[in-house]
């Protein structure tokens, strides 16, 4: 009986597997890179339109002569109360002045007063909110009771009372509107400071020997700024409405200076015969305010 010798099977060499360190690299190269929240925000058509409207209003405030077609104070009695046309995009008022040019030049005073009002509200609101939320105790109680008293008064009514005491003009109107919206900034800042102050990294920084001032400047304030910035954008539109309302009531700049509220007020006597004198400036103000509100809501969605 002959022994049958079997040839040993030739085994293929093992295929080297990817190391564990290379796997994340392979996954990261094969997976599409995710876009940030800001990039996704800029892909929304509504946000793009809102940014364009707000940018146009700011550009008109900075350099009105680049966008205006006529002198805003030049009168032409022969051309009074003309409807919108190619020559006069928004028509003319009762003195023959080009209404579009007056709206463009009026953005300078209105937006300047709004920026000043928001600046006052930011500084005062941040100071009160940080003081109440970070110090706490009796300081928190007293500060918030004062803020609650101001919150009980409608903002426009409070601004009206303040501007009556200060006098007429763009700066008194800005100061009055800024003081009227301080309580909202103070409450929002206090809530954010109280939230951030209880987070673990604050305790870790304190255990590491950091002073309270350093913690406030490097940890609390930067991490509390997001909702306050959204509120600033949202209140920018509300401040425009408040400034325009006070100007509508006659507390703004003296004629012939153009302000958005003054332009709307000047057309009250012509609502039947020439409705565009009040309607078109009012629509422009509404577009700017709605655009700011849409931007604020979009920013709030991104931060969630």
DSSP string, 99-163: HHHHHHHHHHHHHHHHHHHHHHHHHHHHHHHHIIIII-HHHHHHHHHHHHHHHTS-HHHHHHHHH
Calpha distance 237→292 (Å, rounded): 6
User: Which of 151, 152, 132 is CA-nearest to residue 142?
Assistant: 132
Residue 209 in domain:
yes
pTM of the model: 0.78
Token pair, residue 234, equals 């949202």
Residue 98 lies inside a defined structural domain of this protein: yes
Cα(171)–Cα(1) distance, integer angstroms = 119
How many CB atoms are closer than 10 A to CB 2?
4
End-to-end CA distance of the chain: 85
Phi, psi of 92 (to 5 degrees): -125, 160
pLDDT of 2: 46
Question: Is 164 inside a domain boundary?
Answer: yes
What's the structural domain count of the chain?
Answer: 1
129 lies in a domain?
Answer: yes
Closest CA to 266 of 254, 277, 279: 277
The domain that holds 220 is classified in CATH as 1.10.3720.10
Answer yes or no: is 194 within a domain: yes
Q: Does residue 198 belong to any structural domain of this protein? A: yes
Does some domain include residue 291? yes
**Whole domain around residue 281: which residue ranges?**
66-303
Measure the CA–CA gap between 248 and 41, rounded to whole angstroms.
Answer: 35
> What's the pLDDT tens digit per position in 172-193?
999 999 998 888 888 888 888 8
Does some domain include residue 203?
Answer: yes
pLDDT at residue 4, rounded to an integer: 44
pLDDT in tens, 85-137: 898 889 898 888 999 999 999 999 999 999 999 999 988 888 888 888 878 78
């Amino acid at each position: 009986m002959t022994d049958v010798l079997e040839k040993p099977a030739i085994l293929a060499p093992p295929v080297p597997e990817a190391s564990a360190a290379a796997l994340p690299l392979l996954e990261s190269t094969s997976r599409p890179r995710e876009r940030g929240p800001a990039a996704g925000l800029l892909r929304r058509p509504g946000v793009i339109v809102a940014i364009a409207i707000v940018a146009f209003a700011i550009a008109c405030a900075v350099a009105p002569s680049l966008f205006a077609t006529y002198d805003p104070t030049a009168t032409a009695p022969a051309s009074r109360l003309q409807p919108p046309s190619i020559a006069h995009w928004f028509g003319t008022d009762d003195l023959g002045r080009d209404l579009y040019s007056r709206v463009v030049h009026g953005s300078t005073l209105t937006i300047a007063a709004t920026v000043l009002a928001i600046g006052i509200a930011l500084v005062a609101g941040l100071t009160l909110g940080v003081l109440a939320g970070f110090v706490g105790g009796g300081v928190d109680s007293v500060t918030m009771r004062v803020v609650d008293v101001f919150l009980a008064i409608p903002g426009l009514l409070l601004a009206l009372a303040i501007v009556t005491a200060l006098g007429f003009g763009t700066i008194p109107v800005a100061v009055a509107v800024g003081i009227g919206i301080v309580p909202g900034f103070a409450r929002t800042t206090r809530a954010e400071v109280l939230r951030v102050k209880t987070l673990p990294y604050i305790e870790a920084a304190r255990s590491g020997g950091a002073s309270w001032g350093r913690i406030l400047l490097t940890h609390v304030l930067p991490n509390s700024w997001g909702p306050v910035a959204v509120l600033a954008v949202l209140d920018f539109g509300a401040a425009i409405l408040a400034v325009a309302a006070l100007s509508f009531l006659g507390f703004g700049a003296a004629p012939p200076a153009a302000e958005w509220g003054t332009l709307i007020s000047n057309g009250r006597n012509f609502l039947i015969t020439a409705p565009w004198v009040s309607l078109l400036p009012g629509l422009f103000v509404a577009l700017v305010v709605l655009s700011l509100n849409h931007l604020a809501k979009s920013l709030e969605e991104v931060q969630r």
